[in-house]
Amino acid sequence: MLIEKFLEYLTLEKKYAQHTITAYRADITSFQQFCIEEFQTSDISKVNYVEIRNWITSLITKDISNRSVNRKITSLKSFFRYLVQIEHLDKSPLDKHKALKTSKKVQIPFSVDEVRTVLDSLETDSENIFKSKRDRLIIELLYTTGIRRTELVNIKLKDVDLANLKLKVIGKRNKERIIPLLLTIEKSFKAYLNQRKLLENSNNTDFLFLTERGVKIYEMLVYRVVNSYFSYASTKLKKSPHMLRHSFATHLLGNGADLNAIKELLGHASLASTQIYTHQSIVKLKEMHKNAHPRNNR
């Protein structure tokens, strides 16, 4: 089946993450189901742009956001490109399709004070020592390295080099990168590792971050950790691990870090992906320019 072969190609050749494969599968099978119901065909390799356009219209009428519709179309585009690549099609029916317009959402990062407040609260929490030491390291590591949530949960003990203050992470498409660690985080690592040793099953796994039962943590747990602690320290609507990644990049940029260096630290494939973090710095520059330029006083 073409869809399964395509998903296998994404897994084995493109090295896409499992959650990405799951999203692609859902998007493509959703379109296939639409074709079965509307056009009485399950062979989506034979559809034309008019039929795809009908699907897009049906998604919009269901109040699905343009951003989500564009993501679904991207999945379909990739599928048709694959069919062209294996010479099943001469050209993709989506070749000339233009993405729907979406509003650019400005993500406001956590402030330095908000991060400090959370870390300070975890430093003094003594009710559950293992949990407080682990959660503090999770938040501190996300904020001081800018790594992704999925990268964090897959860190292994051997990936941490405290002697040389380096961390190895495996990013998207299995790309490996080395990230420097701040000297200040060494204390948090050692405090957590001391507590980790006391867990009953800790010797049965090579992964760095564990639950209280001694098994590997999962992505939703990381989300809950960040969301829970920042709910007390911040009034921002979005309180996710990605916001710590966003804060990492924005704060580095605001303090003069080179954009290309931030790109390497974040593991972005292109500079265009990193440039979304420049908004806050531009706002600050505009304010500084307005207040400091002598022409403004005339």
Residues 232 and 182 in one domain: yes
Q: Catalytic site residue 148?
A: yes
271-276 LR contacts (CB < 8 Å, sep 24+): 274/249
* 99 within a domain of the structure (yes/no): no
Task: Examine the domain organization and report whether 159 and 75 are in the same domain.
Answer: no
Same domain, yes or no: 155 and 258: yes
Same domain, 191 and 243: yes
Residue (of 2, 23, 167) closest to 89 by Cα position: 2
Looking at residue 100, its pLDDT comes to 87
Domain of 81: which CATH number? Answer: 1.10.150
Global pTM? Answer: 0.67
Q: What are the backbone dihedrals phi and psi of residue 190, each rounded to the nearest 5 degrees, phi first? A: -65, -40
Residue 145 placed within a domain: yes
Told to judge if 277 belongs to the known catalytic residues of this protein, a careful annotator would answer: yes
Answer whether residue 96 is part of any domain: no
pLDDT for the residue 298:
47
Q: Flag whether 191 is in a domain.
A: yes
- The total domain count for the chain is 2
Q: Are residues 228 and 168 in the same domain?
A: yes
Q: What was the pLDDT predicted at 25? A: 95
Beta partners for 166? 161, 180
Model pLDDT, residue 257: 85
Angle at 160 between CA 205 and CA 246, to 5 degrees: 105
CB neighbours of residue 132 within 10 Å: 19
Supply 30's token pair. 């959703």
Using DSSP's 3-state secondary structure scheme, residue 170 falls into strand
CA atoms within 13 A on the CB side of 102: 15
Question: Domain holding 176: CATH number?
Answer: 1.10.443.10
Query: DSSP label at 88?
Result: S
Active site residue 172: yes
Q: How far is CA 288 from its chain centroid? A: 31
**Residue 125 sits in the same domain as residue 208:** yes
Same domain, 196 and 76: no
Same domain, 121 and 265: yes
Q: Which of 149, 251, 263, 268 is catalytic?
A: 268
Please give the residue range of the domain that contains residue 15.
Answer: 2-85
Contact 167, 155 (CB under 8 A): yes
Which of 236, 272, 257, 282 shows the shortest CA–CA distance to 108?
236
Is 242 tagged catalytic?
A: yes
Q: Tell me which of 72, 148, 149, 263 is the catalytic residue.
A: 148
pLDDT tens by residue, the chain, 298 residues:
899 999 999 999 888 888 889 999 999 999 999 999 999 999 999 999 999 999 999 998 888 888 889 999 999 999 999 999 999 999 999 999 998 887 666 678 899 999 999 988 887 666 789 999 999 999 999 999 999 999 999 999 999 999 999 999 999 888 899 999 999 999 999 999 999 999 988 888 999 999 999 999 999 999 999 999 999 888 877 889 999 999 999 889 888 888 888 889 998 887 777 776 665 555 555 555 566 655 665 4
Measured distance CA(32)–CA(196) in Å, rounded: 48
What is the sign, positive or negative, of the torsion defined by CA atoms of 176, 222, 116, 187? negative
* Active-site option among 97, 131, 172, 279: 172
